[in-house]
Amino acid sequence: MSASSLLTFAFAVFLLASLVVKFWLATRQVRHVASHRAAVPPAFAEKISLAAHQKAADYTVAKGRFGLLETAFSTAVLLGWTLLGGLDALNQALMAWLGPGMVQQLALLGAFIAIGGLLGLPFSLYQTFVIEERFGFNKMTWKLWLSDFAKSTAIGIAIGLPIAATILWLMGAAGANWWVWAWAFWMGVNLLAMVVYPMVIAPMFNKFEPLEDETLKSRITALMQRCGFRAKGLFVMDGSKRSAHANAYFTGFGAAKRVVFFDTLLKKLSADEVDAVLAHELGHFKHRHLVKMIAVLFAFSFAGFALLGWLAAQPWFYTGLGVRPNMTGPNDALALMLFLLAVPVFSFFISPLMAQLSRRHEFEADAFAASQTNGQDLGTALLKLYEDNASTLTPDPVFVKFYYSHPPASERLARLSPGVPA
């Protein structure tokens, strides 16, 4: 069997296996949540109403069933782009129109992204204006959605085009070790984005106003000082104009760090609970989780660029994934797209490892919050957030292990309140 045929076979096997596993996990989740819909788990019976529990179950089941359709469609699209020749046909058409060169490569990238975005648009709209609307979470108007879409498109072109052009130029001009330079450039872009995004891009979509509650501000400032954390400011974001979901987060890097509260969060939590939630976020800082995740990103991206550097020079890499490489021009854009399409298929079965690492970080942050504030306040805050966000209290254990970046409520509260059954 040739290398090209072997790659085709491996890709098809992994694609089918991942599809089967995704369907198996999703149906497990739907069945498990639906089967526990009739009663609130005993550990939460005194604090969560049956109506809230059933709303969370129905919301989870609706998203799960819709996710099955979306998974099937995205798998079909992926197969269409690769083994069925979609990307090859698009490349050949643009080659005939524009000829080989940088313009054709950028046009190929742009067309690929635009077509993919249009194909996924109905699912995004249904998620927002049907499912989120049905359960009372969507606050987005069509006017706001169009505004966001226009802004996102403009920003994507303004930022993405120079980045893509630079990487393609490096692939063609920097010799055999181009991938080292491309990796360094990509990491620099990611670090720069951590500084630029909170100060420049995020304000284009939301209003960020300084926290005005002096009492709450004093409490938060005192907590941050105890924890050795400095931020450029405390801000309230108007998240309620798009969604009823609540959250709080740190954003930025270095001197650009900001603490951001959704306005919905401040309306739902007491001052003690806000302290506890912030202490949890500070726990991520104290345990250097961001630095650790950046290190993981650096390592994985380095390995990825090294692999791409080798694969881009192998003709079987293209033919094995349904594409005829250009004979008279560069294949750098093709290599990039095929790599981005294929890697998730082959890496799907190691994704639970990253989810497990994330859950461990969440437990560490919870423990830190409990050491700096009242653990019961964090527990009640988490319950309010689970209830308000309609997060199910009875997820399928296998689904949790594979997908959940945050531990389920039962596990988190059991650690915060020993004696509560998980």
State the first-to-last Cα distance of the chain, in angstroms, to the nearest integer.
Answer: 51
Distances (CA, A) of 249 to 9, 252, 368: 44, 10, 16
Q: How far apart are CA 338 and CA 112, in angstroms?
A: 11
Distances (CA, A) of 74 to 80, 85, 276, 382: 10, 16, 40, 33
Cβ-defined contacts of 296-302 (< 8 Å, 24+): 296/354, 296/357, 297/187, 297/190, 298/187, 301/183, 301/186, 301/187, 302/183
Type of residue numbered 215: T
Residue 362 is assigned to a ligand binding site: yes
Residue with tokens 């653990």: 375
The catalytic residue among 281, 377, 387, 396 is 281
Strand partners, 261: 236, 248
Question: Known catalytic residue: 366?
Answer: yes
Which two tokens mark 134? 């049905």
> How many residues make up the chain in this entry?
422
Instruction: Report phi then psi at 250, rounded to 5.
Output: -95, 145
The catalytic residue among 275, 366, 387, 396 is 366
Residue 280 is assigned to a ligand binding site: yes
Residue 387 is assigned to a ligand binding site: no
Question: Known catalytic residue: 275?
Answer: no
Binding site, residues? 280, 284, 362
Active site residues: 281, 366
Annotated binding site for Zn(2+): 280, 284, 362
